[in-house]
Amino acid sequence: MKMQTIKRDSALIAMSGGVDSSVAAYLMLQQGYECQGATMRLYRNADIGLNQFRTCCSQRDIDDASEVAFQLDIPYEVLDFTPDFKEKIIGKFIRVYESGGTPNPCIDCNRYMKFDRFLRAAQEKGLHYVVTGHYAQIIYDGASGRWLLKKAVDDSKDQSYVLYMLTQEQLAHTQFPLGGRTKAEVRALAERLHFVNARKHDSQDICFVPDGDYAAFLERYTGKHYPVGDFLNEDGTVVGRHRGAVRYTIGQRKGLHLARGAPVYVCGKDMAANTVSVGPEASLYADTLIAEDMNWISVPRLVGPMRVKAKTRYRQTEQWTTAYPRDRDTVRLVFDEPQRAMTVGQAVVLYDGDTVVGGGTIACIPDKI
């Protein structure tokens, strides 16, 4: 498609049908931007066996986004990204689970859909920015000449963890109008504007697994049946039978159905042997991880050891660690205190105060305490 001339004060709003993106659209208009709205259709429920569920990309969400766009008097359309989503998000989700990891498809959706495919769509329309309802802040640091990603004012809603993959080019063409507001302020503004979705609940689960049963989704989508296998204790002794290794995540306690006299937790998985290792909670702790596919934001790259704080889970409190470079895309993190249930496939994000230094994907946990 031929690229149009980019108009600097213009934006394509990613309208999910929720309250946050709707208010983001309003705020951009108030700042004088020429705006267009669009909803990304990422999948069709029938294609992934979800006819009985109301998920994002549902017709109701499209209707809500369309009604808000009409109220704001901005052009609106639905962009069909289903082939990209199937390949980049669902495909990776399946591969990571089947290899024994625990994926984070929301981060991958940001990486490949919202800030890549959607940004390209904006540029094809001659629009300078993409705008979403994320709670985070972007500023330009003149001293370093770099765009910085910072936490939101509302710490309880901060989403910088799932945005660590943004490149300098993407940050330069993205705006987060809600980063300086609280969720309560956003809802109150939507109420005053009489938006149809002002009281709509926030989505919580992975959008294409709304019931949270990842294994059932994998079996339904792939047509595979994941076979039963052995639970092993720490010395390799068989202590029970599991219902398929993909059904278990590191740190899991519930649903094991093992009578061991003391609580046990999932400590590891061997997908080739189809075994799941269990042990006491103490076995979940480690102080070192290797992260790969690093994206650096506040610095061009890591050239030496750096003291930072890090999160290995979305809701975790940041923990002090030292980051050691291995190569441009890989780091070793050594935490001051052992961390519980660090999991291959999850993101680790590094912070310097309220600024995101960078982040990557946990590749391995080399030792346990």
Q: What distances in angstroms separate CA 61 from CA 17, 54, 58, 253, one per listed residue?
A: 4, 9, 5, 36
Amino acid identity at 13: I
CA-based torsion, 84, 95, 347, 359: positive or negative: negative
Backbone angles phi, psi at 340, to 5 degrees: -90, 130
CA distance 304 to 231: 42
Where in the sequence numbering do the catalytic residues fall? Answer: 109, 207
